[in-house]
Each structure stands twice: as structure tokens, then as C-alpha cells.
Amino acid sequence: MERRSILSGVGLGAIGAAAMLTAGKARAEGKSFTIALVPGLTTDAFYITMHKGALAAAKALGVKLVFQGAPSFNPVQQVPVLDAVIARRPDALLIAPTDKTQLIEPLQGASSSGIPVITVDTYIGTGVYQTGSGSADFPLSYIASNNTLGGQIAARALAKAIGGKGKVYVSNIEAGVSTTDQRREGFISEMKNYPGITVLDTQYNDDDANKAASQAQSVLARNPDLAGIFGTNLFSAMGAGSGVQQSGAAGKVKVVAFDAPESIIGNIKTGLISIAIAQHPAEIGWFGVAAAYAHLTGQSIPPAIATGFTVIDKTNVDDPSTKKYVYSE
């Protein structure tokens, strides 16, 4: 399969250029900014890679970057970390909110107290910001993959891998996470174009690969004719792969993965996973810092920036141009 890279969005180049231009001016005026990045989870290769991109931009712009997050992906753990970060009064806050609703209030507090908020990867409310409607449109920008499109790409890839017929299901984190909700929705709506495919109930794993693995084994035990699984994120996909392997169904049950850590790349090579949809987390981090900096130095920034994908399968897994998109661990 041809490597596809989808890069869209408003004013990406303009933001980078504006940020770079104003960097010199701000430095000359002796201002130094601290930008905080609160990930969904600190030990996730996706956010580790995002951090690297953010650090590269911070270095280029001469700002200090603080990276602080929780050890598991949920609002109960993320909110206290966020409160601690807000108490340190960063000049701007980049955050991947772990719940569309539960993070609105604490972020509203930060915004009202004068800290500009930009969400990266995930969003709050509807994710449509700066429109003057609703209670969650105050963040300045949303910088992320087009997750609905990613779900559609996954559905097409899985449909092709299973020859357009059979039973499949979605392995997902938990309802309320904007990114994985959209991936699931995109997947299910695209699957309506394949009358030979039945989409079974979604399995929710709380971002726990072990739970995703035992769910895969149970679904397979109930449906020995299961044809495929869509893992909507790194842990869902890794877990789905292990469950399939433990059930002795490697290669028979096709797995399509969102995200591209080394382990998933290894599983593509062995055939356990058919396709990985690699997001570009470093790009999200880089543009997050650049957008925050542009805002802090008086530039306008777009309310949404869509970053790219690279689809990786057996045909391009060893291409040097693809390797660049494998996540750092």
C-alpha cells in the first residue's frame, strides 16, 4: 500500500513563521515564557513523542516547557495534576483532556484566571472553539489528528483485510474520550458501506492493554468466526493483538491499530497486526508550542489545526520515510 500522509489545517506554515519571527523580538525585550504541557498519560509513547516535538519548538523559540501528567489516563488522576500545574501559573497551558466534559470546569478556571488554554490531541465540549457558543468554547485552539477520518481509514483497511465480510468489533478506551469516540464513530459509519460486515458491540478497556487482551479472547470464544478488530488507540490495539495471539488466531483475525509504537511495528512485521494508523504526535507538540507562543507574542492563531497521519503496513514498514513516524518510547 502506498504510504499516505494527510496534512491539512489552517495556517500551519503561517503559525510557525509568525512564531519564529516574534521569538527574536520577545527575546530582545527580555521576556521568557513558560508553557506547560499536560498529557493524557505520561508513560504513553504517543505523549512521549508529542513531548519531543514540543521540546524542539520550545528550544527554537527560547521558551521553557514543563511536562507534567498523570500515571493513568483518566480525569480523576488528571485533574489534581492540572490543578498543581495551574497553581504554578504558566504563561500558557497545552493539555490533552482525558474527558470531554469533566475537564471543562478546571480548564475554565485556568482560562478565567488569565492562562491561555490550547487543547492538543483531545478536546473538551464539541472541540469547536472560539465561536461564542456553549460553555466549553474558550480554548484558543484545538491541535490534533482528524480522528473521525482516522476511524474511516481504519474501517476501509479492515474491510479490505477481511475481504468485505465477517464480524468485527471496536476495542476502545471509554466513552467520553473525544479522540477515541470519534475514531469509533468514523469506523462504524464507514462500515455501513460494507453490507457483508457485522459490527459487534464495542468493548471498553479503560486504556488497559491486559483488559483489551482478555476482552479479545472472550469475544473470540463467543464468536469463533470473528474476522477483525479495530483497536482505537495504542493500548486497545496492543491488547487486541495479544488477545488474538493468546487465542491462537494470529493472522486469522485481522487487527487494525491506531497509533504506531515500536511494538505495533514489530507486530506488523510478524503479521499479527495488519495496519497501523500512525498519528504525528511530534507535529502536534511542535505546533502546540508554536501556537501558544504566537498567542503570547500578540499574533492571532487559528481555532483548529489538523495534523497528519501515515498509514503503515507490511509494504512500507521498512521504508526510511515511514520509520520517522514510529513513536519514541
β-strand 275-279 against 309-313: which pairing, if any?
A: antiparallel
Query: To which residue does cell 470464544 refer?
Result: 221
Q: Which stretch binds ligand T6T (CB under 6 A): 9-17, 41-49, 221-229, 308-316?
A: 41-49
Any contact of residue 259 with ligand T6T (CB under 6 A)?
yes
Any contact of residue 40 with ligand T6T (CB under 6 A)?
yes
By CB under 6 A, what part of segment 175-194 binds ligand T6T? 179
Q: Which stretch binds ligand T6T (CB under 6 A): 156-164, 214-222, 230-238, 269-277?
A: 230-238
Any contact of residue 148 with ligand T6T (CB under 6 A)?
no
The residue within the footprint of ligand T6T, chosen from 53, 70, 94, 121 (CB under 6 A), is: 121
With CA atoms as reference, report the closest residue to 41 among 207, 183, 189: 207
Number of residues located near ligand T6T, criterion CB under 6 A: 13
Q: Which residue number, 69 or 106, has a Cβ lying nearer to ligand T6T?
A: 69
Q: Which stretch binds ligand T6T (CB under 6 A): 19-27, 84-92, 229-237, 316-324?
A: 229-237
Q: Which residue number, 78 or 247, has a Cβ lying nearer to ligand T6T?
A: 78
Q: Hey, is 289 helix, strand or coil?
A: helix
In angstroms, give the least distance from the CB of 145 to ligand T6T: 7
Any contact of residue 142 with ligand T6T (CB under 6 A)?
no
C-alpha cell at 226: 470473528
The residue within the footprint of ligand T6T, chosen from 234, 275, 301, 305 (CB under 6 A), is: 234
With CA atoms as reference, report the closest residue to 229 among 195, 263, 205: 205
Q: Hey, is 141 helix, strand or coil?
A: strand
The span from the CA of 241 to the CA of 149, in Å, is 23
Q: Which residue number, 168 or 284, has a Cβ lying nearer to ligand T6T?
A: 284
The span from the CA of 36 to the CA of 311, in Å, is 30
The answer to whether the beta carbons of residues 118 and 71 sit under 8 Å apart is no
Q: How many residues does the chain have?
A: 329
Q: Which stretch binds ligand T6T (CB under 6 A): 52-60, 105-113, 208-216, 233-241?
A: 233-241
DSSP string, 42-111: TT-HHHHHHHHHHHHHHHHHT-EEEE---SSSSHHHHHHHHHHHHHT--SEEEE--SSTTTTHHHHHHHH
Q: Which residue number, 46 or 129, has a Cβ lying nearer to ligand T6T?
A: 46
Q: Which residue number, 235 or 286, has a Cβ lying nearer to ligand T6T?
A: 235
Any contact of residue 258 with ligand T6T (CB under 6 A)?
yes
In angstroms, give the least distance from the CB of 36 to ligand T6T: 18
In angstroms, give the least distance from the CB of 279 to ligand T6T: 6
Q: Which residue number, 19 or 154, has a Cβ lying nearer to ligand T6T?
A: 154
Neighbours of 221 (CB within 10 A): 10
The residue within the footprint of ligand T6T, chosen from 235, 287, 293, 309 (CB under 6 A), is: 235
User: What are the helix (H) ranges across the chain?
Assistant: 12-28, 45-61, 75-87, 104-112, 147-161, 178-191, 209-222, 234-246, 262-270, 281-296, 320-323
Any contact of residue 233 with ligand T6T (CB under 6 A)?
yes
Q: Which stretch binds ligand T6T (CB under 6 A): 38-46, 126-134, 162-170, 265-273?
A: 38-46
C-alpha cell at 43: 508513560
DSSP secondary structure letter of residue 146:
-
Q: Is the dihedral of CA 263, 267, 269, 275 positive or negative?
A: negative
Q: Which residue number, 40 or 127, has a Cβ lying nearer to ligand T6T?
A: 40
- Which residues would be at the binding site for ligand T6T (CB under 6 A)? 40, 44, 46-47, 121-122, 179, 233-235, 258-259, 279
